[in-house]
Structure 1
Amino acid sequence: MKVINQTAADFKIIDFTWPAGFYADGIHAGLRKQKLDMGWLYSSVPATAAGVYTTNQFQAAPTQVTKKMIQTHHQLQALVLNSAIANSCTGALGLKNAQTTQQLAADVLEIDPELVGVASTGLIGAQLPMPKIAAGLQKLQLTKNDKLPEAILTTDTKAKTISVALKLNGQVVTISGFCKGSGMIHPNMCTMLGFITTDANIEAEALQTLLSEDTESTFNQITVDGDTSTNDMVVALANGLADNTMIETDTKDYQKFGAAFHYIMAYLAKHIAADGEGATKLIEVNVNHSASTEEAQAVAKTIVGSNLVKSAIFGHDPNWGRIIAAIGQTKAVVDVAHVSVWLNGLPLIVDSVAADTEVAVLEKAMDTNQIQIDVDLNAGPAKGQAWGCDLTYNYVKINASYHT
């Protein structure tokens, strides 16, 4: 695994903006009652494309189509996105509808249909209303507005967007990302759609390497409810219009660009976790002194994915027994006599026994919308990280009536 040195980063966070040559729009096409529910993303030139996809065996039709386009051509010029209807488990007709969407968009944009990707999110099992999709494609414009990130939301409470800028070879490069995800969140990947656009000039192999490796430490390290969706994918597009020298692996520019790219990925992943269905708190777990990075990540993910831990966090209950039990159920190497745990900087466990921090102090420290759990396994030099959210009454309420 390549390690991107984040200290090499020389980027700044800017207001959300589309990189040079990218255009987008979002509209209400009638798939939902009132909210924006359809949009597109377009590059004025074909863009180098990379993707990662759900591991769910029932991979949705749009995911299959986009995956095939990227793996075959390593390029895309447009993406058509919709919420409300996932077009998953829809058989041959669902696949045909995804391909028809490709062709309809290509006709409107006057590009090759094999340069068009599609992505859907929403209810599993329903067919896309193709007359509404076709009409929506006629209404969409090539704009610089920020409606597209809103048009892909389902149970999300807010759009999730981020832009950064950096200089490579004296040229300003912009990287912008947006995503949706709130429930049915669990690696690999999570119930989410994520898109990263950049005007950087980068090799297809280098872009795919960055996306695949960063997914392991970001999107694959978040969990809300332990369920893996059928539609998940993250797609990265780079159209090269910044005119920087081509970014190749094992170069200083790759390190600089990679650090900014990783920041975008981690930012979006954390914001999905924080916006989990019904959530009131973002939970971050940092595991240190593990025998390996893989084991550290597994421990962090197990803790943040424990329903007992999540429930305790919601109830402001510093029940550290649930954390230690989660650690113990993994296969990670652990010094069972010398594990220590901190909650928002306060010691919970020292050398595998209760610390002397007063319960009232711990409860007060939990009265915040962010909870950080730090774990020391005392078993090696590696570390890992994961994010999730608390489990609330509203999660059950939202999902008890999702279909109706």
Structure 2
Amino acid sequence: MIAWTEDQLRLRDALRRWHERLSADHIELDRRAVFPDALWRLVCESGLLRVPFDERWGGLGQDLLTTMSLLEDLGHGCRNGGLIFSICTHLCSTGVPIQRFGSTALKDRYMAGLCDGATIGAHAITEPGSGSDALSMRTTARLSADGDGYVINGSKTFVSNGPVADLFVVYVRTEPKHGALGVTAFVIERGTPGFSIGRPIEKMGLRTSPLCELFFDDCRVPKFSVLGGPGLGFSILDHVMKWEILCSFIVNVGEMRYRFERCVDYAKTRRQFDRPIGSFQSVANKIVDMLMRLETSRIWLYQTARRFLNDENVTTDISIAKLLASEGNVASAMDAVQIFGGNGYMTEFGLEKDLRNAVAGTIYSGTSEIQRDRIAKMLGL
């Protein structure tokens, strides 16, 4: 495992002091399915959004592993899973690609606002007719008649942070016949003429992280809004998805750790038939399985992150890590509900919310089925 430096531990401890405040009213906010503006302001105040970005923009200049460690700790300490998901979307899907691939003009225009949280970020890939099959996207961008910009037409759906975002990284087709090389990423501001944001879509879990559809009707954007360069959209997306999986699912490890600790305490104190329920093998085995899942997921995620930072091929590792963490989180949440019995099914204990939130992880960032298909292909099957 990783030996964290004193500076890293001090930063973790400094951010840990915010966890309880960020958990405020988490059950009621989930029930109402609203984005917690007041809590977002606390996130901005905490400095968490600055962690992985360069100091020249107001960031803290920390690396991927440090960012992951802080997000794991946040998953353990903060009970508002939707808020954490919005944080990860903002960091990984908007800030990371603009810092890594953006022109000087794009960075100068947007990075400071992304670092301090005054600008909320989102990204848009999925369309009503294409989810896992991203190459089937139909939203297009063509050069304007005067050649000074692009005109975008189409729509996107399931856009996390969409209803509250100020800035969007949007992936569209610029060369329909060129396959993956015909996709370009654009950075688009809310309020751009021809760009409209649909109503929030109600969902099963992560309910404090809003999502919606986006619509583009002859939406004209300047050439400097191209991220990285024409045709580089899928290369950018590949980098983004690695960051997204490593950061979003290390949060799940933190959540599993919190749930494991809670179940151990409950199994020691809850008595049935004049015995602590942890003395029953059926309960004890569930808790042991919870521990194995969280430790295996943690090892795979950090190991994959180290290999990624060393520029090694982590295609298979990323898929395995994502499967372990997402499916392990669902199993862990289900076990916790069972261990708590009737209490686990009740809203006030927060465990049924954990289960609803966990299911989403088997779908976003590439479904479990897609991950297994990728692994099989890497095996030559």
TM-score, normalised with respect to structure 1: 0.25
Q: Which has the higher strand share?
A: 1
Q: Which has the higher helix share?
A: 2
